[in-house]
Structure 1
Amino acid sequence: MHKWIMAVLLGVAGVMAAYLLLFEMPAKEETGENQDTGFTVPDTAVDAAAAESIYKSNCLGCHGDEYQGAMGPALNQVGATSSKEQIFKKISGGGGGMPAFEDKLSEEDIINLTNWMSEFK
């Protein structure tokens, strides 16, 4: 009797596999960091001293004193892997374990920090 049950299960699995191969699943919608928010980070002169001060008081604990990462990911190459808009969105909105800073920092500070970090390549 176990052979019949196994044969039926194997047959059902085969039918499901054929169905999945013949009929595509709907395309996955883009969400999160890859969506265009319509916001472009302005190219402003970077105040490196202010950006570094903000980093030391808000980011150092999770991202390390040399941007090498600790509890959070390494940021020493963030400008090479993320656009300014992605960096700005992550700083302001948080996500993935990172807290949002839109209520803790001014937009000008976030833009300055974004432009400073976008140079990390």
Structure 2
Amino acid sequence: MKWIMAAGVGLAGLLAAWLLLFQLPEKEAAAPEQPSASVPEVEVDAASMETIYKSNCMGCHGSDYQGAMGPALSQVGSALDRERLYAKIAKGGGGMPAFEGRLSEDEIVGLANWLEDFK
């Protein structure tokens, strides 16, 4: 009885190795997330963006943009362009909640433009 189980496990291992070596399709490179639309460059009222930040973002990203539960934003404009910032704020993802519906379109656009200047 033991030899039947051992043979079954051995055959399953051989089948798995064969499938891994010869049958799996090649891994496709994941395309970077492309924003669906361009975000207009608008003049930003820094004081109002700071107020929105303090009300909605500071709890996760820190009072000095240093990061806390969320990543640091002190140089986020070097890593993400305005469109990606807009998408992240609006749709969330990776632990960040979506702010579409909580913030107005103008507020999200303003935050994206404001954060893009953090370089």
Say yes or no: TM over 0.5.
Answer: yes
Q: Which amino acid aligns with 2:10?
A: L
Shift of 1:96: 3.1
- Please list every run of 5 or more consecutive structure 1 residues that lacks an aligned counterpart in the other structure: none
**Map of 2:22 onto structure 1:** 22
Q: How far off is 1:111 after superposition?
A: 0.9
- Please give the per-residue CA displacement for 1:47-88, whole angstroms capped at 9, x wherever unaligned: 222211111111111110111111222222322222322211
| Alignment correspondent of 1:10 | 10
**Number of aligned residue pairs:** 119
Distance 2:81 2:23 in 1: 36
Tell me the TM-score normalized by structure 2: 0.80
Unaligned runs of at least 5 residues, structure 2: none
Pairing of 1:1-121 with structure 2 (within 5 A): 1-2=1-2, 4-25=4-25, 27=27, 34-121=32-119
Runs of 4+ in 1 over 6 A off after TM superposition: none
Offset, 1:10: 2.7
Of all paired residues, the percent bearing the same amino acid is: 46
Question: How far apart in 1 are the matches of 2:62 and 2:23?
Answer: 48
- In 2, the alpha carbon distance for the partners of 1:63 and 1:21 equals 44
TM-score by length of 1: 0.79
Q: Relative to 1, partners in 2 of residues 1:120 and 1:7: Cα closer, same or farther, differing over 3 Å?
A: farther
SS at match of 1:6: helix
